[in-house]
Amino acid sequence: SSYCNLNNIISGTTRSGRVIRGIPEWNVVVINNCSCAQSKIRFDCKEFRTIEDVSPSILSVQGDSCLLINGNPLMGFASVRFSYAWDPAFVFLARSSHTTCS
Ligand SMILES: *[C@@H]1O[C@H](CO)[C@@H](O)[C@H](O)[C@H]1NC(C)=O
């Protein structure tokens, strides 16, 4: 149904406890808090920086936005995790997605 939308894409950031070259590492979890899959999930990534490589198959920085899992569907109530290192932490806000319900 159409009730799943961008507002259901939630990201949470917590300190991993690791420090890389003096820079704190953060664990990010992105959750699709709705029953329908959502694909082509993009975050605003304008100010995002990291000294730790993030696999582009998980988060691909493309100009001012970041594409999650190559645009593949994040299933209902599924989550994706990744880590990066920067100071301060970055707030990942979902900018666009495509909802598919079957
Ligand atoms: C997930 O969705 C439910 C139902 O809409 C809502 O009550 C809950 O607060 C949401 N969880 C988070 C972490 O926002």
The Cα 61–Cα 55 span in angstroms is 10
Q: Which DSSP symbol is given to 1?
A: -
Tell the residue nearest (CA) to atom 7 of ligand 1.
33
Residue 38: the pLDDT is 96
CA of 7 to the centre of ligand 1 (A): 10
Instruction: Summarize pLDDT for 59-78 with one digit per residue, the tens.
Output: 999 999 999 999 999 999 99
Q: Among 7, 9, 33, 79, say which to mutate for ligand 1: greatest number of ligand atoms within 8 Å of CB.
A: 33
Q: What is the pLDDT of residue 2?
A: 58
84: helix, strand or coil: strand
Question: Which residue bears the tokens 């899992």?
Answer: 69
- Beta carbons of 55 and 68 less than 8 angstroms apart: no
Distances in Å between the Cα of 44 and the Cα atoms of 1, 18, 19, 22, 92 are 26, 25, 25, 26, 7
Report which protein residue has its CA nearest ligand 1's atom 2: 33
Amino acid 1: pLDDT: 47
Name the token pair of 8.
């259901």
Query: How remote is the CA of residue 21 from the centroid of ligand 1, in Å?
Result: 36
Give yes or no for residue 52 having a pLDDT over 80.
yes
* Claim: this prediction has a pTM higher than 0.75: yes
Three-state SS at 70: helix
What pLDDT does 102 receive? Answer: 59
Average pLDDT, the chain: 95
Q: What are the structural domain ranges in the chain?
A: 6-100
The stretch 85-90 carries a mean pLDDT of: 97
Residue nearest (by alpha carbon) to ligand 1 atom 9: 33
The domain over range 6-100 is classified in CATH as 2.60.40: yes
Instruction: Fill in the DSSP letter of residue 62.
Output: E
